Structure 1
Amino acid sequence: MRALEPGDVVRLVSPSGPTRPDRVARGVELLEAWGLRVELGRHVFAEHGYLAGRDADRLDDLNAALADPRVRAVICTRGGYGAQRIADGVRWGAPKHLVGFSDITALQLALWRVSRRPSVHGPGAAWFEDRLPDTSEMSLRSALMTVDELVVPRLEEGPLIEGPPVTGPLLGGNLTMLATTLGTADMPDLSGAILLLEDVGEAPYRLDRMLTQLIRAGALDGVAGVAVGQFTQCADHRPVTAFDVLEERLAILGCPVLGGLPIGHGFGQLTVVVGAPATLDTATGVLRSRPAEAGLRL
């Protein structure tokens, strides 16, 4: 599996929540400016309540994109909810870049389980101009179309527990999706891994509940380090903040924790590759991950 090149075909699909055509149009514009040929899944704009169409239609679009030998990357339009409902029916087939985040964490964990292939944790094709500046576009493009190392610096407020640099596969993503994967076949073995966490719209006590569940279940045993991304709209107007909870609960793991990384639902979102080798360094405040091409050689 190689990095994308101008002329490659990418297919947009909506495995989770419904999307807005105007935002997808902007994403298509960006991808085409990179020289990529963009195709839309048959049901990409479908709506069925809080889902982007019925389960069978969303699954058909995803499987069709994965099976088409012309398609080099499958780019999800957005997250929302619904990926777990179809995860067991996905036919992964030949290696392709899978792009998305948030609810798409469910598909990325499933892909890691069946094939140990990495995937691209970054913005979907439904482009949010108000939170995705040029740096976000360049970061996603680098992950897909270059072999450059992806460097994410600590730029924001977040928990920090110092420790030596640690290296391991970068695994995880959205905390809610990771917690709801517990007890399924897709829950990864995180021993020796750098755990990535981000979320949106979860009050501190709910973050506490999810982290406590993961800790009590032993799912975080042996984690080498934790990369904490953006926890957007996670306040409940009480003195305890989301980052207070994260720092307190993650301290139990006895490993380095680096927060303040612009990865997730907030402004200036940057892209990383989950499932690829990464290094977390609290002294320099940097998370480094391999590009998708390099990661797929694992």
Structure 2
Amino acid sequence: MRSGDRVRIVAPAGSPSREEVARGVELLTSWGLRVELGEHVFDQWGYMAGRDEDRVFDLNAAFRDPGVRAVIAARGGKGAYRIVDDLATDALRRDPKPVVGFSDITHLHLAVWSRCRLASFLGPFAKSHDTYTGPASAESLRCALMTTDPVTLHRDASEATVDVTVDGTATGILMGGNLIAIRTETGAGLPSLQGAILFLEHQRGTGLGEVDRALTQLTRSRALDGLRGVALGQFLGFDRDAEDPALGGWGIRDVLHDRLAALGVPVLGGLPAGHGNHPPTIPPGHPGDHRHSHRNPHR
């Protein structure tokens, strides 16, 4: 993208605050982009940003407008899974443009790849002066949108998944996003993961059993057949599980290793990407290089 390009902010899932969107507009404008808002960005219907038909209308209007060069989700939340069947992916295939968002927006990324084979950007709605995204997140998104610089993630020893590793090297198309969103698309809109490196992250609010169920469902459905590697981002909210006697001493590392090591592919844990502070922007649909060994533990 270049200075002067138009971008459209939409709300395919949860409803954002006006203050958040205003700070997002401020930041994007400072990059020289011309920012527009979808017609229904500030609607609310239950826990979603307006009715299904209105949320998908805003998305499809952006897809069909040849002057819009990127579509940015104002937030995640819940609801994107309800509208994926009605996306105007034919228009997006004819006029490719990046879709940006994470968490529940994973549903859109999977649909765009499955139907159009288009890469997208798994990243936050960057807001100026924000303690959650912050300058590093904003710069990561700017580089992804407006430069051709490569995206490289390095392990962080403080992440809960850092010890979940299986040595090896793999190259493939990067796919994935939020674990629960990927599980929800099983049997419906989940694209083939043959030859892919699967990135997984998980938000707060569910227990070890829910992670186990999700990974088991993906395994039993054969959705993970043909994977070349797994990259693990942040799995948050499991810090004290190993102290819970009802869990038999298991924590999130144990569940992930138990389910993923059996796949027989390299696994790289500890990537600082997901629902934690200062999330980077990563590009599902792009070729990825995934390495882990005792000699090269960081890439």
Normalising to structure 1: TM-score of the pair?
A: 0.91
Question: C-alpha distance in 2, partners of 1:22/1:108?
Answer: 26
2:196 pairs, out of 170, 193, 196, with 193
Tell me how far apart the structure 2 counterparts of residues 67 and 30 of structure 1 sit (CA, whole Å): 25
- 1:45-85 Cα offsets, whole Å, 9 max, x none, are 11111110001110111111111111000000111111111
From 70, 73, 76, the equivalent of 1:73 is 70
Matches of 2:128 and 2:149 in 1, distance apart?
A: 23
**2:73 is the alignment partner of 1:42:** no
1:128–1:55 Cα change, 3 Å: farther
Q: Normalized per residue, which structure has more strand?
A: 1
Equivalent-residue separation in structure 1 for 2:174 and 2:139 (angstroms): 21
Larger Rg computed on CA atoms: 2
CA contact (8 A) 1:59 1:90 kept: yes
Deviation at 1:135, TM superposition (A): 1.5
Inter-partner Cα distance in structure 1 for 2:164 and 2:128: 31
Question: Which of 231, 234, 237 lines up with 2:235 in the alignment?
Answer: 231
Q: After superposition, give the CA deviation of every residue in 1:21-48 in whole Å (9 maximum; x if it has no partner).
A: 1111111111111111110001101111
Counterpart for residue 282 of structure 2: 272
Structure-1 residue corresponding to 2:273: 263
Question: What's the offset of the Cα at 1:246?
Answer: 1.1
Deviation, structure 1 residue 134: 1.8
**Aligned equivalent of 2:84, options 83, 87, 98:** 87
What corresponds to 2:225 in structure 1?
Answer: 221
Summarize deviations over 1:145-190 as a string: whole Å, max 9, x none.
Answer: 1001001110132143232221100011110011010111x21111
Which is worse superposed, 168-177 or 233-242?
233-242
CA RMSD of aligned residues (A): 1.6
Counterpart mapping for 1:276-291 below 5 A? 276-283=286-293, 284-287=296-299
Tell me whether 1:97 sits opposite 2:98 in the alignment: yes
What is the one-letter code of the residue matched to 1:72? R
Give the aligned partner of residue 54 of structure 1.
Answer: 51
Contact 1:9 1:71 in 2 (8 A): yes
Question: Which amino acid is 2:44 matched to?
Answer: E
* C-alpha separation in 1, matches of 2:289 and 2:231: 10
- Write the letter of the residue equivalent to 1:160: V
* Matched residue SS, 1:273: coil
Give ranges in structure 2 of 5+ residues lacking alignment.
Answer: none
User: For 2:15 and 2:251, how far apart are their aligned partners in 1?
Assistant: 31
Contact 2:177 2:200 in 1 (8 A): yes
Partner of 1:114: helix, strand, or coil? helix
Deviation string 1:260-293 (CA, Å, 9 cap, x unpaired) is 1111110121111001101111133445xxxxxx
Partner in structure 1 of residue 132 of structure 2: 131
Is the Cα contact below 8 Å between 1:172 and 1:274 reproduced in 2?
yes
Identity within the alignment, %: 49
The question of whether the paired residues in 2 share the 8 Å contact of 1:75 and 1:125 is answered with no
Question: In structure 1, what is the Cα distance between the partners aligned to 2:139 and 2:62?
Answer: 25
Q: Which amino acid aligns with 2:18?
A: P
Report the residue type matching 2:36 in the other structure. Answer: E
Determine if the alignment matches structure 1 residue 240 to structure 2 residue 250: yes
Which residues of structure 1 form unaligned runs of 5+? 288-298
